Each structure stands twice: as C-alpha cells, then as structure tokens.
Structure 1
Amino acid sequence: MKNEKNTVKHFVIKHLSGSKANQHETFDFGKHKELTFGREEANNVYFDPEKDSMVSRQHAKIVKGEKPLEFYLEDLGSLNGLYLNDEKVEGRKQISAGDKVKLGLKGPEFVFDLDPRPAGAAATRLMNVAASKPTVELDTAGESEDSDGQKEMEKGPVKESIGKQTFERAITSERKRSARTMVAAAAAVLIVLTALGFTFKDQLFKTEQTVIHNTEVIEQHQEVRIDAFDTQAIARSNVDAVVYIEVGYKLIHTTTGDDVYHEYMVIDDPNTGQQRTVALYIENESGEIEPVLGLGRNVQNGSPIALGGGGGTGFVVDNTGFILTNRHVVAGWQTSYTFPQDAYNGRMIRFVNGEWTLAEEVAVPPQNWVPYNSEMLGRRPLTGKVLEGQNMYLDVSFPNSDLRTPANVVRISNTHDVAMIKVTVPGELDHVTMKDATAEVEPGKQIMIMGYPSLAPDVVVGRASADYFNRATRLLTIPSPTVNTGAIGRVIAATARTQDDLVQGYFSVMGDYYQLSGSTPGPGNSGGPVFDRDGNVIGIYAAYVPTGTMGFAVPIKYGLELMGPARRSVVN
C-alpha cells in the first residue's frame, strides 16, 4: 500500500442527495483503512436520524483491498438495501473512484472518490445521448400507414361478383410491389442519412461537449459549498490523537540530587509585635530579584521549588507515540514560577559590612522568575548547569480511558513554549497532520481548538480492584476533550522588517504568537492543537487572557523543529 499512500491523500465523499446534499466530506487516506456509513454518530459518515430515515444505524462500509487502489463496498445488514450504480449489492462488491452509492432504494446517494484521483481510476460513466436510431421512426410510420390501409379495406363493403378472385389476386400483387418499393425507399433514405450523419457528425452531435460543460459548472458550485468549516468532521477524525497530561516536578541540585528550597526566616513583626515567617529574596549580579535558594539539607525553614497536580493537553504527531505540547506543561522549571501565597510580603537580604542583614520588604515576588535560569544558590553566584528540573510523575491519558501511561520528556525547545514527550504502547496510534502555515495565516482565518480545559466538568468512575493484595476501590477521572472555535485575530511576529529607513528594527515584546479571538478554553487546554478548516494543526494553544475572550497559540513551525534531525546547524 506504499505507492497509493504517496499519491492518494484523501477519501472524498460527494453527497448528491439527502440531508447532506451538495456537501463534500474528506478523510485522511493514510489514517483510515475503512469508512463506515450510518445513522450512528460513531460512523465516519454520519447521517441525520430523522431526515435520512432510509439509512440504517450501521448501513455500509468501504474498505481497502489487499492490492493498491482496490476498494470494496460491503452491506452491514441494512434494512433497505445497498445499491452501487443502481445495482443492488449482496454482501460485498468492488467499488472504484467515481462510482455512485445509494443507501436504500430511495435513500441518500453519494459519489465515492479519491483526492487526487489516480490516473488508473475509473471515472463516473456518462450516457451518450447522441446514440439514437432515426430508422425506427421510418419503420413505425410505414407500419402505421400500412395498418391504416388495411383498416380501410376491412371497413369497405364486401361485394360478390364473377371476377372476384381475379380482382383479389391483382390487389395482392399490387400490395407486394408497393411493399417492396417502400422497403427499397426506406433503405435508400437510411443510406443517405447515414452518409450525411458521418460527414457532418461534428456539427450535428454536440451532446458530449454540453455534458462536459455542465459537469464543470456543477463542480464549481460544489467547490463553493465545500468551503464550510466542518468542525464535527475534524473533531471525529482527531479525537483519539488528543491526550490529557498530568505532571508534577521539583527543582534539584545536579551534583548531589538534593531538592532545592526557597529559604524562609522567622522575624519579629514590628506592626503586631508577634513573630511571623517571611520568604527571603536576594539581588543577583544582573540586578534582578530572585528567591534565596538553598539545598534541602541546609535550609531549616523553607518551601521546595516544586509543583504538583499540574495538567495540560498534548497531541500525538506520529504512530509511534511522540506527542507535542507546551514546554510549561511538561518542563515547568523552564517557565515563570508561580509562588505560593506565603511567599508574598517577604524581605530582601543584603550583604552589608561582611554579613547578611534584612532589608526592604518585597510585597510581590518576582513574576518572571524562571527556576532553571537562577543565578544564585546558597547566596552565591552559580556557574555551570547546577540546577535542573525533574518530573516526579508525567502521565498521559487517552480520551475516554481511565488508564494512565507514563511518558518521558524527549526534547525541549530553546526558542519557544514547545516540548516533545513520548509514550510507549503496543500497536500504532492515531495522529494528527501538521502544516506550517506561517506564510498564509492572516487575521480572520477560522480555527478550531481541542483540549482538556480545567473549567470543564469532570467525569469520574469508581474502579473496583481485582487484585487480592490491593482491594481498594479508586475514583478515576475519565478525560474527554472539548472543542472550541474561533479565528485568528492577529499575527504577532517576533521580528520584522520595516519600510521606514529611520526605524532600526521591529521587535515584539511578547514573541511569535497567533492571537486568537472568540471562544477561548482557558487553563488546562495548554498544549492543545489548533486546527485550520482542512483539519491540519497550524498552532499549539499556549496562553489566555483571564478577563476576556482572547488567547494565544504558538505557530506549529516551532513544533516541527523538534521533529527534525538530531542536529540543527545555526552557523554556516
């Protein structure tokens, strides 16, 4: 099947009648070994239960054969029958691109096609209207005149006379001569008409050209109709590739493996006269404020730099289990840290006269501090890769399943909020298709987002244990992805050229993002795929504005970079 995958990209179902008349549905050729048709929502091609009542719940399916470009149409026990080119299908029958399929004698009809259609595929057959027989009209006219003559003879009065037999023989002889003359004349006319028809066939018979012209007009109207954004089809095709991620990490010292803590101190509060614990902060050599960090063994009072109970979204990008998501989802130590509430209203410490002393108050912790980028440890400057993050757990759940599969971080982007993880499971996985649409994305382009927003209600099941040594019943969350639609509100470029010679450079304070308008899913959806109208992933959902309906997505080109070769040259 390797050759056909290289040529054929999509199955195409062109609906001719029924509730989906004049609509086209496309399905990825590489992902689908078969297409099912019926009124159940689980079918690939789903029909309206009320408007398409002739269709059974599971009516039919089209499956790939063993040979390239070999397909079969199979009846799944439908009540009203299955018809291929108006011939009833009993069991299974071979089908070609361009063939018409009808679900029920008076049910909806569609054309099965491939995109692009291979050169060897059979096209839909057209009737040749010009193949008529003018001689039939001549014969019919002759018969009519002859029969009228006979009727008139029969209606006349019968007169008996002496010369009756002689008269009858004369009439019979005359009739035979007339018949022979009529046949000869008809043959002569037929020969003349045939010769004229052959000579002037190009001018007389133009039916074929008219049919082709009409076909082109119909195709144009259908192309306009396929422009509709079919979010249901995109969701059905990709639901199994969108996964839920649960994660917890901690910051460690690479040399000793010790946990790294934010140091606190107990002080006397001058306002209340009571003791309270405050978080300590320090100014690094770059003049920036960061928390005072120390090893767990050396910190008497503090809080670990860690995060538990984190969640996000990812999507499978190939059949072996590689998954793309946001860097801040699976490598939280490389993004801005969210300080706990007790880290607010802390105090600075400064080295004065050879000793560390308490200084001014820090009402709000540094909002852009990234643990991985810390410059100080143990109140001293850092050199080398001394601090690193470690995931305590990183689990992936597939839709509608209570099984958690451990994953590993494979690659982390150095340039954007993108990371790649991998799960190892038996068999091949469904995966999305991606497209670098950087050059063609513009404001107003419709998009669809899939993921697991934390605001969506959870579905919980109680799982009884069959393990004799662990009989406890567990409550497990069953993830189910959510669909949100919107549009590209703005394309934010990190850098760009300007037409003004006096402007030395254009730089975005935010970086490279697609600004999304419309319905934004919010937290928990980070790392989810952003689809275009063709079902291709063009971005990775990354952030949102809590007070509005605005979100941001990372262009997929940064994810494609992680799927490239192990080495990437940045200098010639």
Structure 2
Amino acid sequence: MLEGRLSVTLRGDGQMERVVIKHLSGSKANQAVGFPLDQMQVISLGRDAASTVAYDMDRDDAVSRNHATITRDPAQSTVFILTDLGSRNGVFVNHSRITGSTALHHGDIVQLGTGGPEFSFEIDPPPAPTPKATRQIDLRQATPTREISLGNEASAEVRPQRMVLRHKTGSKANQEVSFPVTPTIEITFGRDPAASVSYDAERDDTVSRNHATIRRDAQQKGFALFDLNSRNGVFVNGARIRDSATLHQGDLIQFGTGGPEISFQLDPPPADALRATRQFDARETPPAQTREAAIAPAAASPASTGTAGGTSFTEAPRGVGKETVERLITETKVESRKSMVNIVAGLVALVAVVAGAFMFMGRATDKKIETTTAQVQAEKTHSESTASAVKAIQDRMEPQEIAKEYSESTVYIEVDWKLIDLASGQQLRHRYVNNAPAYVEVPKEWIPKGERLGKLEPWLTFDESDSKAIGGRLAGSGFAVTDNGFILTNQHVAAPWKEIKLEAGIVVTINKKGEPVIARKVLEQRWSPAQSVYWLPSGGNSARKDVSGRHDRLEVTFAHTKLRFQGKLVRVSDEHDVALIKVDAPAKIKPAPLAPLGSEREVQPGNPITILSYPDISLKTLFAAKSKDMLDQGTTIAEIPVPTVTPSAISKVVSSTTTAGEKSSEVYSEKNTYQLTANISAGSSGGPVFDDRGRVIGIFYAGNRDMTLAVPIRFARELMDVKGILH
C-alpha cells in the first residue's frame, strides 16, 4: 500500500505551467490532456459524464461512476494528491493499490481498477531532481575489493518478473492470466467481482466469495498461499493446506474438492526449478550373476550290442500268468462302473445344491440391491438439499450490500396528470353544489345486468366555475428490470387515474326547472373512470362519455444524479397494482435481478427482506448550481434522490385461488399479497423488495402505521412476459 505525501520541487525559475495526463491504455489510449496550474483545483476521474476526465461507459467498465480525484493541496501548492473515492475496483499507482489518498510523482503510472485504463501523471515543465551531496571516501580506510570465485553454479540470481496462472478446470479452463511481480503483490481469488481472479458465481459454486490470496513471503524470496477461511478449503498438489503454504514452480492449486484448478508458474522460472540429472555408477550395484542349474543325466537305455553276425538281448524278468491278468481286468471294470455311478450321483447332487444356493443368493442380492438403491437415492436427495443450503448461505447478502449493489437500479418517479374527455380533449372537472362535490345516480338503463342499483358517479363538467379540476401531482419509486430502460412501479404511481379517490359530498337530482336539488349526503367515494363514466347535463338527461388520463409530466431520476429523463407508460395490469414504464437513457442501465418463477414458494413468514425506496419523510439532498445563461444569472436548486434502505421481514403471506375468468376490480386487493413489518411512508410505493439473496421478490404498494403490503413479483413477470421485453 502507498502512504504519505510528496512535495514537488520547482525548477530554477520557479515555474510549473501545467499538469499533463497522458493516457496509455483504455478508450482514451494515445491521448493527452493538460490542465493549467493557475486554474487547477480538482481533476475528477470516472465514467460520469460530468467528470473532468470522463471514461467510456462500455469500454472502460472497470472504472466506477465517480472513481478518483487529483487535487492540489491549498496549503502546499507544490503537492498533488490522488484520492480513491471508494471505487469498486480500486486505484493503483505503479501497480500497487492505494488506500485512501497518496501523493503523485512526476511520471507515476496510475491505473483505475484491475485491468482498467492507465495514464501517466506528468508536470510540464518537469521538476528538476534535487542532487545529493558528493560522499568523500578516505582511501586509507577503504575496504579492499572482495573477489568472488565462480564455481559450477550460476553467479547471478534469477528473479521472476511475472506470475503466470494457467487455469486447468472450471469456468476459466484453458485460460491464462499473468501479474507483474512487485514487493507488495497480492492476488485474490473468489466469486466476488472485485477479486483479482473472479470465478463464475453459478458454475464455480465450490469457491467462496473471498476464498484465498497469494502474497510475497516475509523474506521477499518466495510466494505464499493463504486460505481466507473458505468453506471448502484450498488444496496444493492434492493436499489440503492449513492457513497457509509456500508455493513452488509448477504447483497445482485447487479451490474446494472438485473445484477449479490452476497451475502456478513464474516467468522466468527460478534457477532451482529443475532437478539435476541423477548419474548412475555401475560399480555401486553390480548385476547379479547367472545362476547355473544342475541337469540330471538321462536314464540309461537297456544295453544292446549289434554285430555283423547277429543280435544279443538281455533277458527280461518273468511276468504273471494269463488267467491272473484276465481276473484283474474283470475286477477293474466292475470297480470302474461303481465309481462312475457314484461320480454321476455326486455331480447331480452338487448341481442341485449349487442351483439352490444361486436361487437363495439371487433373492438376497435383489433385496440388497433394492435397499442400496433406496439408500443411494436418499443420500442423493440429502446431498442436493445440503448443496442448495450451502449455496444459499454463500449467496446471502446483508442490507448494506444490497443497497451498495442496487441503489443505482432504484429510481425516483414524479408525475403530473389530469383526466380528459377523449372526444374533445378538454380536461374534466368535478361539479360543486353549495361548495360540496356533487354526485348523481347512474340511470337504470346504464347499469349492467346483475349490478346493484343506486350506483353513484361524480357530476362532470367542462365549466370552470363551481368545479374542481380532476388530476393531481405525486411522487413514487421504481426499479430498472432491463438494461435498455424498462422500469417497474405501481399502477397508482404511473397511472393514478385508473382508480380515483373522491371527497365526501352530496347526491343531487334535477327538478323540472333544470335546477340541482340536494337529495342526501354521501361519504368518500372510489371511482374507476375506465369502467363507467357519466355526467349530468343541464337538461337533466344522462349521457355516457369516454374519458382517460393523460400525463403532463412523467419524469424518472436515477439515484445520486440530478438529470431527469422523460418516461412513457407502456403497460398497466388489470388485476394488480403493477405498471411498466420506459425511459430512453444514453447508456446501459444496471437492472435489479428478479426472483425466478416458482421461487415464491420460498417466501415464508419471518424471512428477512430489504426495501429500497424514496419516502416523502426522508431528508432531501439538494444541489444548487449557478446558471451560466447570460440572460439568466439566477441559481437553480435541484433535488438529488438518495434511496432509503429499510431492513424488514415478511410477517404474513396472503394467497387465494380464483376461478377461470374471475377478476378483481379492487386495486388494493388482499389476494396474493405479502404483509411486511416495515413502517414506511408515502413515496415508497413502487420500490423493490429484496430477499436475503439480493433478488426482487415483490413491489411495495401500500401501508399505514400498523402494516405495509407488497405485490409478489410473479405478477410483474406476467406483465412483462412478451418477447419485446424479456427476450
């Protein structure tokens, strides 16, 4: 880590004209930009379009929106300071990651994030180096030069310049990555996106979020591998390590049993990486002599002598008589027949015994196979359940992690709307009689068969006298679900005219003179213009009209910015408090991940949740900017939305079944709802409700001091289930 500050020495004439940033890599490679010193205060670096040095949103994705700054110390004008603004991927100076702030030298190489763009920090004209005083040497006390005798070993030590990691298995198989070797090198491994070597969260599920790290050893001569309390362990050449282990050239590292493997290499390899060839001395192990085996002489043949005159034979001993031989043959045949019968009988008995044994063993084997199969299936089910539980624990996110990851996906929505007559385009108004809102009964001929009589509708008019315009202004929350600008929110936020809450008033009738007559008082009314709209003309005859809502303003603002984007209404649910809007943003938007279909079965009372939203009672962050318009020198104040993080829990899961064709006209239906423990005020409507794995499981839509409610995310998926949105 780099710490401290450095003063820049001025040239002899005391002048430093400008600071120059020369881009070495990234989208701005081979470009240079200069900043005059008399005008320089802060140089901001990031992907935000308002940054002094703004990087490309797509090509420089290792850079955060607001990554770092370079400032000039007001107390010491010759000091320049580089500050990390809490970036995700860090700031590196000369390949070493900094902590907080550090001073910059002329010629320092700055990199924004691992693998991110690099630039050279220079001062023009460059500062003159401060020469050191010449050291005088007393020749009488000088130490004589030591002569070194070169033996068989190399005299120069080979120092590795780069560390090379070759992936053998896992999601990165057959890939290779290298890192320059520095005294402070630290290579981290894990499924965290900020790790030096980041593994796939799904395919490499044996790897922990922060699994292991490689650092220089204490003597700066080798490298050590450290296990960061990983769940599944770290293995070197097949053996699990305890805490740490020294690494050697060619070692095979594995992250968890069955996990991804890498080969550890140094370039150039150390001098002792290869073993010397073993020499064989023939004198040490003389070969065994051939054992000579004694061969017995062959048996002598009967002597025979042949001559020209005749042949002489040795006389053989006398044999048994003919009768004796015949008797012996007969006895032998009888005994052979008896033996054959006994052998056949024994074989038959043996076959019967073997067959019975095989039948018994077969039945026992079948039972054993059935038992073993059942045990294997049970073990498989238990293993899958355990693996699922382990993965859920590894993927668990705290509320602060969810806020850091998905605040930029949560948006602030502002709406101005009014109700208009589609035929004329004029705004509709609610007629007042005696300073009270007036209502009329719907004529019988206009009431659908099966509905109750006496249905009330507001008395509508275009006349601005004795009336109140129907419309309003509101603010709410929402969240991005695609990278091209689709946003989910509540129906009552994006299209508030679908159901309108009207004040308590009076019911009037028209007498024969055409004058309104008060019939009775009525309480507060809920009115759905799209279902039935009537008004009472001056003549006393009812007539049906087609009306609809219209936006005067639908603006969307992303977290921590002051720029407003115009939105448009895309679709509204007929049954649930869900709506879909769209904005056209110049860059890709980070979407919040939705819980998959079927995951609603995992939502149970007591489950922890996190809500991101913009409640009205939350403290506001304001931005004041002086206008640069020559005709308007005033100051404008804009609100910078900052989402509020609310940890909570599921208190109740309300569900119901409906028959085919059944629909509810009640927007705030208690069917299929999550009841929450959170106490949130107005303005939070439309905000995402996350589970402890960082997935959106619902949309906040209503509440009071006693309880709050959320719509399950599956109804939002139904609203989005078209190829143009999800595909």
Give the TM interval when normalised to the shorter protein. Answer: 0.5 to 0.7
Residue 101 in 1 paired to residue 213 in 2?
yes
Residue 248 in 1 paired to residue 413 in 2?
no
Residue 402 of structure 2 corresponds to which residue in structure 1?
234
Deviation at residue 327 of structure 1 after TM alignment? 0.6
* 1:262-281 matches, cutoff 5 A: 262-265=430-433, 267=434, 277-281=435-439
Higher RCO by CA contacts (8 Å cutoff, separation 6 or greater)? 1
* 1:200-239 matches, cutoff 5 A: 226=394, 228-239=396-407
* 1:70-81 matches, cutoff 5 A: 80-81=184-185
Amino-acid identity (%): 25
Residue 336 of structure 1 corresponds to which residue in structure 2?
500
Residue 553 in 1 paired to residue 715 in 2?
no
Deviation at residue 431 of structure 1 after TM alignment? 0.7
Pair 71,95 (structure 1): closer, same or farther in 2 beyond 3 Å: farther
- Is this contact kept in 1: 2:408–2:559, CA < 8 A? yes
Deviation at residue 557 of structure 1 after TM alignment? 1.4
- What TM-score comes out, normalization by structure 2 length? 0.48
Residue 8 of structure 1 corresponds to which residue in structure 2?
none
SS in 2 for 1:407: strand
Gaps of 5+ in 1: 1-29, 47-53, 86-91, 114-122, 131-179, 189-215, 268-276, 498-505
Residue 404 of structure 1 corresponds to which residue in structure 2?
564
Residue 441 in 1 paired to residue 603 in 2?
yes
Residue 134 of structure 1 corresponds to which residue in structure 2?
none
- The CA distance in 1 between the partners of 2:99 and 2:226, in whole Å, is 14
- Which amino acid in the other structure matches residue 313 of structure 1? S
- The CA distance in 2 between the partners of 1:124 and 1:250, in whole Å, is 64
SS in 2 for 1:438: helix
- What TM-score comes out, normalization by structure 1 length? 0.60
Residue 289 of structure 1 corresponds to which residue in structure 2?
456
- Which amino acid in the other structure matches residue 721 of structure 2? G
Pair 110,129 (structure 1): closer, same or farther in 2 beyond 3 Å: closer
Deviation at residue 519 of structure 1 after TM alignment? 2.4
The CA deviation string for residues 143-176 of structure 1, in whole angstroms up to 9 with x for no partner, is xxxxxxxxxxxxxxxxxxxxxxxxxxxxxxxxxx
Residue 358 in 1 paired to residue 468 in 2?
no
* 1:52-451 matches, cutoff 5 A: 56-57=99-100, 69=172, 80-83=184-187, 100-102=212-214, 125-128=235-238, 226=394, 228-265=396-433, 267=434, 277-285=435-443, 286-295=453-462, 298-308=463-473, 310-337=474-501, 339=502, 343-344=503-504, 346-352=505-511, 355-362=514-521, 364-366=523-525, 368-379=526-537, 381=542, 383=544, 386-435=546-595, 436=597, 437-451=599-613
- Is this contact kept in 1: 2:431–2:460, CA < 8 A? yes
- Which amino acid in the other structure matches residue 370 of structure 1? S
SS in 1 for 2:673: strand
Structure 1 window deviating more from structure 2 (449-458 vs 218-227): it is 218-227
The CA deviation string for residues 546-569 of structure 1, in whole angstroms up to 9 with x for no partner, is x32x2111111121122222799x
SS in 1 for 2:524: coil
- Is this contact kept in 2: 1:64–1:72, CA < 8 A? no
The CA deviation string for residues 448-476 of structure 1, in whole angstroms up to 9 with x for no partner, is 11110111011112121112233321111
Deviation at residue 41 of structure 1 after TM alignment? 8.1
Find 1:481's aligned residue among 643, 651, 659: 643
- The CA distance in 2 between the partners of 1:71 and 1:535, in whole Å, is 31
Deviation at residue 522 of structure 1 after TM alignment? 2.0
- Is this contact kept in 1: 2:530–2:547, CA < 8 A? yes
The CA deviation string for residues 186-229 of structure 1, in whole angstroms up to 9 with x for no partner, is x99xxxxxxxxxxxxxxxxxxxxxxxxxxx9x999976853754
- The CA distance in 1 between the partners of 2:441 and 2:510, in whole Å, is 10
Structure with bigger gyration radius: 2
Deviation at residue 283 of structure 1 after TM alignment? 1.9
Deviation at residue 34 of structure 1 after TM alignment? 5.0
- The CA distance in 1 between the partners of 2:438 and 2:188, in whole Å, is 78
Structure 1 window deviating more from structure 2 (356-365 vs 521-530): it is 356-365
- Which amino acid in the other structure matches residue 529 of structure 1? P
Between structures 1 and 2, the one with greater helix share:
1
Count of aligned pairs between the two proteins: 406
- Is this contact kept in 2: 1:528–1:540, CA < 8 A? yes
- Is this contact kept in 2: 1:244–1:479, CA < 8 A? yes
Deviation at residue 263 of structure 1 after TM alignment? 0.5
- Which amino acid in the other structure matches residue 674 of structure 2? Q
Pair 302,401 (structure 1): closer, same or farther in 2 beyond 3 Å: same
Pair 485,350 (structure 1): closer, same or farther in 2 beyond 3 Å: same
- The CA distance in 1 between the partners of 2:500 and 2:428, in whole Å, is 16
SS in 2 for 1:495: coil
SS in 2 for 1:262: strand
- The CA distance in 1 between the partners of 2:615 and 2:698, in whole Å, is 17
Deviation at residue 236 of structure 1 after TM alignment? 1.4
Residue 42 in 1 paired to residue 204 in 2?
no
Q: Calculate the aligned-residue CA RMSD, in Å.
A: 4.8
Find 2:625's aligned residue among 432, 443, 463: 463
- Is this contact kept in 1: 2:674–2:711, CA < 8 A? no
Pair 224,375 (structure 1): closer, same or farther in 2 beyond 3 Å: closer
SS in 2 for 1:256: coil
